[in-house]
């Protein structure tokens, strides 16, 4: 079985985001970049499937600039077998990403596609669902547990009311939630081995996909600063302020 894992290069989650002075977007100058945390979980799950004997090959695919190779190398160091980089310096919206991944799926013929449920930079949470619709494949989103058996995937999903279990015919799409697993750290020997693993470079044109944005960002602003708290003398004063100043009761 072949598993395809989609990964995204994003601003590291430890970095404090800075907005450009003209409000046109986020300032990425000299900012540390890393793999989207939900995608790390997807890579880890694919590796565990391989270790359990369910998968024979793991292909990591990313869309972005040349530097996105570093993100693919991270996946290769964790345990992926080879990578595909679709080169573009432009921002790519979820629908375009789904169309590009559809082209990769048609070329690679994987039995399972695993993605993070969302990227923490745009929080769109759309790509997996769009890819499922384009391919006509079943989907199990927000997965907190994944089991494979006799050509079927049993996915436990996190929903508002608790947990929901669905059984999907393969090939299928699975998007990962936080509680699915704990990603491993790449060991130094595996980091060295990853440098020799193959990364194939493609372009959006190779898949006949137009990545021209359909949305226009009008303005980007930082969240409002939190106001300092206030100490009250007694419960009566607290109720008075909640009623008259905060307007919450």
pLDDT tens-digit readout, 177-210:
999 999 999 999 999 999 999 999 999 999 999 9
**Unique residue bearing structure tokens 């109720």:** 239
| pLDDT bucket at 23, cuts 50 / 70 / 90 | confident
Fold of 2-246: Rossmann fold (3.40.50)
Token duo for residue 138 = 């079943």
Sign of CA dihedral 102, 108, 111, 115: negative
Single pTM value for the model: 0.86
Residue 27 pLDDT > 90, yes or no?
A: no
112-116, strands of its sheet edge to edge:
162-169, 152-159, 139-149, 172-176, 112-116, 2-7, 57-64, 82-87, 199-202
| Region at 23 (left for phi over 0; alpha for psi -120 to 50; beta for the rest) | left
How many angstroms separate the first and last alpha carbons of the chain? 58
Which candidate, 4, 38, 61, 75, places its Cα nearest to that of 180? 38
Residue 28 pLDDT > 90, yes or no?
A: no
């Amino acid at each position: 079985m072949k598993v395809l894992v989609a990964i995204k290069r994003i601003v590291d989650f430890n970095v404090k985001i800075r907005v450009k002075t003209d409000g046109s977007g986020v300032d990425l100058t000299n900012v540390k970049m890393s793999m989207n945390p939900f995608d790390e979980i997807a890579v880890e799950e694919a590796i565990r499937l391989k270790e359990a004997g369910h998968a024979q090959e793991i292909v990591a695919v990313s869309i972005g600039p040349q530097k996105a190779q570093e993100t693919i190398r991270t996946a290769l160091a964790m345990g992926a077998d080879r990578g595909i980089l679709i080169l573009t310096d432009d921002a790519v919206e979820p629908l375009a990403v789904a169309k590009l991944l559809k082209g990769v799926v048609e070329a690679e013929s994987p039995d399972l596609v695993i993605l993070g449920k969302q990227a923490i930079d745009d929080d769109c949470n759309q790509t997996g669902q769009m890819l499922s619709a384009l391919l006509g494949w079943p989907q199990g989103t927000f997965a907190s547990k994944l089991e494979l058996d006799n050509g079927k995937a049993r996915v436990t999903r996190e929903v508002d009311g608790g947990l929901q279990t669905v059984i999907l015919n393969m090939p299928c799409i699975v998007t990962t939630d936080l509680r699915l697993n704990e990603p491993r750290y790449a060991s130094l020997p595996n980091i060295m081995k990853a440098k020799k693993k193959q990364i194939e470079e493609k372009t959006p044109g190779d898949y006949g996909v137009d990545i021209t944005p359909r949305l226009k960002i009008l303005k980007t602003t930082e969240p409002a600063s939190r106001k300092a708290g206030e100490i009250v003398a007694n419960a009566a004063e607290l109720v008075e302020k909640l009623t008259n100043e905060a307007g919450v009761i």
